Chain A
Amino acid sequence: MMEENEMSFFDKLEKVDPRLIYILVFLIVSLPLMRPLGLPISMSPMTVAFYDAVEKVNPGDVVVVSIDYSAASSPEQYPQTKAVIHHLATKGAKIIGLGFWADGTPFIDSALKDVFGKSKDHPKYGTDFVNLGWIPSQEVGMKALGGDVQGTCPKDYYGTSTATIPMMKDVKTGKDFKMVITLSSGTPGVPEWIRQIQAQYGVTFLYGVTAVGAPGMRVYFPAQAAGGLEGLAGAAEYEVLLIKYGYKGTLAPPMDSQSLSHLLVIAFIVLGNVGYVLRKHGKAK
């Protein structure tokens, strides 16, 4: 009788109701957002490499920032976008915002407004930054962009002819890009940019991806990609590095949530394995 009770207890350890798991995840993720723990954020070598590459940008260098993510991954990648544009602005780069995902394009306008205060109506729009909007046809669009920038984007996001935009005067092909930064959560994204622009024109290439995509994108470092931001953690680390430029980061509380949720996952994995091992041990006896 005692042995049967022990066996069913081990079975219970292995088969916790998923609803209990979901409730715990909800609590663990939401509580630190209300009461942050203040855990220090450590640096990843990929984030440091990304930062160092952007630090080498000189005033007047043309940098393409491509928003290749959808609304779904915007909570993870929009913080990367703002931080990247802020850093480029402090370096005096000429920023070309564009995207190959239709539902990611509005984020370019939002990010420019968040960093510069205004987008199209800003006095430096057209001289320091420009928003070229959505380019269709994914990888074919990238190839077309590399071959003829103004032909592929005859108008900017707001309907102005790119031929009349001052900073686009000398931007004709992919050769005129000093750097390309893609913030991507899928396809088209990093591999497509590398194939069509980085490999063809030898442009310095950086990426920001969701945490899920990070292991797969590391294969391009350092030969094709000079650095990368990996998920929300990468964005938080980058914000820390930008403190010296007066950047006010907001990702410390979400990183606390991430820490606790990782601990929760580990706890459940250990629980399941304890039940599994003890059940097997019980059967072996």
Chain B
Amino acid sequence: MKLSATIRRSVPLVITFIAGLLVIGDYYFKVKAFNDFITQWMKFVNVAGSFAVIIGYVTLTRIHARRLNQRREGWYNSLALLVGMYAFFLLGVVFSEGKFTAHPTYTYWFNNLYVPLDATIFSMLAFYIVSAAYRAFRVRTAEATVLLISAVIVMLGRAPIGPAVWPTFGPITSWIMAVPNNAGMRGITIGIALGVMSMGLRVLLGRERGYLGPGA
């Protein structure tokens, strides 16, 4: 049965509105039966959310199997991805004797293959931070100079070398983090929270429909 466009657009908006009100109400109203219902509902959403893993698997398989099939440029990378993805799946589900990711073989490959690979890419940031800081930190304006000086003080204060050379680096660093840094961060955090609240309000009222997908 094909639903009309109006129903296809309106029903999700109504569900969103009611669901949002109920979850907000759970925070403000302490009525046991209502709160228990919301708790059960959250558990249901929790279970439903874990199916997102399957969506990721299916989508990646579809995309990379097609690349492999069509022998597109870099198809061997797609092969490596599919082999790795399904090898870990088999180790963690099929051949894990019911222990899943607690199985020693899975843990071995996780600790000795996945962890070093992931940590290596993250460690590239160390190199990039130095080159970015070298390029970006110029005393072009008074504000940039203040930023530069405080960055140098905090870098020295947060590593052992700073307090070893001059013990006062520690307290100065703590003051910079506790006062100017906190002031700026709190301002930005409040602004972002208000922006998110505004977006949430628009979603509840059906004025923001991007999450519904194309054509909404």
Is A in direct contact with B (CB under 8 Å) within the complex? yes
Which residues of A are interface residues toward B (Cβ below 8 A)? 16, 18, 21-22, 25-26, 29, 39-45, 70-75, 102-103, 105-106, 109-110, 120, 135-138, 140-141, 143-144, 147-148, 151-152, 157-159, 200, 211, 214-216, 218-219, 230-231, 233, 255-256, 258-266, 268-269, 271-273, 276-277
Most B CB contacts (10 A, CB to CB) among A72, A135, A271, A277 go to A72
Near A by CB (< 8 A), chain B positions 186-209 give: 186, 189
Contacts of B117 in A (CB 8 A): 71
Question: B49: which of A42, A137, A260, A271 is its contact (CB, 8 Å)?
Answer: A137
- Whether B38 contacts A18 by the Cβ 8 Å rule is no
CA distance A21 to B115 in the complex (A): 26
Which residues of B are interface residues toward A (Cβ below 8 A)? 27, 35, 38-40, 42-43, 45-50, 52-53, 98-102, 107, 110-111, 114-115, 117-119, 121-123, 126-127, 129-131, 133-135, 137-139, 148, 151-152, 155-156, 158-164, 167, 170, 174, 177-178, 181-182, 185-186, 189
Interchain nearest-CB distance for B186 vs A (Å): 5
- Whether A272 contacts B137 by the Cβ 8 Å rule is yes
Contacts of A158 in B (CB 8 A): 99, 102
- Whether B107 contacts A272 by the Cβ 8 Å rule is no
- Whether A276 contacts B139 by the Cβ 8 Å rule is yes
Q: When A and B form their complex, which 5 residue pairs have the shortest distance between CB atoms, in order from nearest?
A: A137-B49, A147-B39, A259-B161, A72-B122, A71-B118
Contacts of A25 in B (CB 8 A): 126-127, 130
Interchain nearest-CB distance for B54 vs A (Å): 12
Interface of B is mostly: helix
- Whether A144 contacts B130 by the Cβ 8 Å rule is no
Contacts of B46 in A (CB 8 A): 135-137, 140-141, 144, 152
Interchain nearest-CB distance for A267 vs B (Å): 9
Question: A265: which of B130, B160, B164, B170 is its contact (CB, 8 Å)?
Answer: B130
Q: A110-B111, A218-B181 are in contact. Are A255 and B159 (CB under 8 A)?
A: yes
- Whether A45 contacts B174 by the Cβ 8 Å rule is yes
A44-B170, A272-B135, A276-B139 known, 13 other contacts, Cβ within 8 Å: A16-B134, A72-B121, A74-B118, A109-B102, A136-B47, A137-B46, A140-B45, A140-B46, A141-B46, A218-B181, A219-B189, A265-B134, A265-B155
